[in-house]
């Protein structure tokens, strides 16, 4: 992209449900290609499939009026499953046809073509948007806590798991920084379709120990991030520091 001076492309590696729900505006999307998505063939894994009714409903709110989804797969059972799931929402007009040429040039398309596997394709044209539009992830402003005590008295570390409505925050590791002035905690925050690994820092000031989110990795400031601050605060409190202030 850099070499060819292409500047109108954005790459995102992560869950498509997150980008569709939390990044794209209502009605902003012309179309979406889903090429050979993981079929999750086992019955107990079916809910991991991307092309299920909830995704079709969500997508209908993000697609433009004449927006579409192009689905190409080698997996006949998932193909029919996808058709039924979309059909059940009543939001799409489904057209079965030959796959677009480019969908036959992907890494997996080449593999299946070499094996002469049949390839299935349908395009789902949006008829209307679902009545309810799932909200964007809620961004939260306030993210710190203050404790009384001396951070240098904290010498050990234990993993902390904090569950909250909508997710879990797991304090995985604790480090002392090279200047000895602060502790840094690596926290994994799992929310509906967003997983972030973030750094929470606890640093000593004259008037207390401040616990806050570090900007490293450009984290999205969500409810789960606030819970991560609480999880670290709870850990510090368990070592003998006293919580003076925290925001719930």
Report the C-alpha gap between 198 and 160 in whole angstroms.
14
Tokens of 222: 């969500």
Closer by beta carbon to ligand SAM, 119 or else 236:
119
Closer by beta carbon to ligand SAM, 110 or else 136:
110
Ranked by CB distance to ligand SAM, the top (closest) residue is 106
What binding mask, one character per residue, do residues 59-98 give for ligand SAM by CB under 6 A, x or -?
A: ----------------------------------------
Helix (H) or strand (E) segment spanning residue 84: helix 76-89
At 93, phi and psi to the nearest 5? -105, 120
- Judge contact between 65 and 31, C-beta under 8 A: no
Q: Point out which span in 29-37, 164-172, 202-210, 215-223 binds ligand SAM (CB under 6 A).
A: 29-37
Report the C-alpha gap between 187 and 198 in whole angstroms.
5
Q: Is 38 in the site for ligand SAM (CB under 6 A)?
A: yes
Tokens of 131: 């009545």
Q: Is 17 in the site for ligand SAM (CB under 6 A)?
A: yes
Q: Is 36 in the site for ligand SAM (CB under 6 A)?
A: yes
Minimum CB separation of residue 33 from ligand SAM in Å reads 8
Which residue bears the tokens 């719930």?
Answer: 248
How many amino acids of this chain bind ligand SAM (CB under 6 A)?
Answer: 12
Q: Is 27 in the site for ligand SAM (CB under 6 A)?
A: no
Q: Exactly one of 4, 15, 22, 38 is catalytic; which is it? A: 38
Report the C-alpha gap between 99 and 103 in whole angstroms.
6
Closer by beta carbon to ligand SAM, 58 or else 147:
58
Q: In what order do the strands lie in the sheet with 167-176?
A: 160-164, 167-176, 182-191, 194-205, 208-213, 144-148, 242-246
Closer by beta carbon to ligand SAM, 34 or else 213:
34
- DSSP-derived pairing of the beta strands 242-246 and 120-126: unpaired
- Judge contact between 160 and 239, C-beta under 8 A: no
Q: Point out which span in 13-21, 88-96, 217-225, 226-234 binds ligand SAM (CB under 6 A).
A: 13-21
User: Where in 109-148 is the site for ligand SAM (CB under 6 A)?
Assistant: 109
Tokens of 208: 């207390």
In the residue annotation, 38 being an active-site residue is answered as yes
Q: Is 165 in the site for ligand SAM (CB under 6 A)?
A: no
Q: Where along the sequence are the contacts to ligand SAM (CB under 6 A)?
A: 15-17, 35-38, 50, 106-109
Q: Give the catalytic positions in this structure.
A: 38
């Amino acid at each position: 992209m850099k070499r060819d001076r292409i500047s109108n492309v954005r790459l995102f590696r992560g869950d498509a449900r997150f980008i569709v729900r939390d990044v794209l505006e209502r009605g902003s999307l012309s179309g979406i290609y889903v090429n050979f998505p993981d079929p999750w063939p086992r019955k107990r894994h079916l809910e991991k499939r991307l092309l299920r009714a909830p995704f079709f409903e969500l997508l209908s709110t993000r697609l433009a009026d004449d927006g579409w989804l192009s689905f190409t797969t080698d997996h006949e059972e998932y193909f029919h499953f996808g058709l039924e799931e979309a059909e059940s929402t009543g939001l799409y007009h489904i057209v079965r046809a030959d796959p677009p040429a480019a969908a036959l040039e992907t890494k997996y398309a080449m593999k299946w073509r070499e094996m002469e596997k049949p390839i299935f394709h349908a395009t789902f044209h949006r008829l209307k948007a679902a009545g309810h539009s799932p909200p964007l992830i809620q961004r939260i402003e306030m993210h710190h806590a203050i404790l009384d005590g001396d951070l240098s008295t904290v010498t050990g570390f234990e993993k902390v798991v904090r569950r909250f409505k909508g997710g879990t925050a797991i304090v995985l590791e604790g480090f002392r920084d090279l200047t000895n002035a602060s502790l840094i905690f690596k926290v994994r925050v799992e929310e509906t379709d967003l997983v972030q690994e973030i750094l929470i820092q606890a640093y000593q000031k004259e008037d207390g120990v401040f616990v806050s989110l570090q900007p490293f990795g450009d984290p999205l400031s969500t409810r789960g991030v606030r819970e991560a601050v609480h999880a670290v605060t709870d850990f510090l409190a368990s070592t003998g520091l006293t919580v003076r202030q925290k925001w719930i």
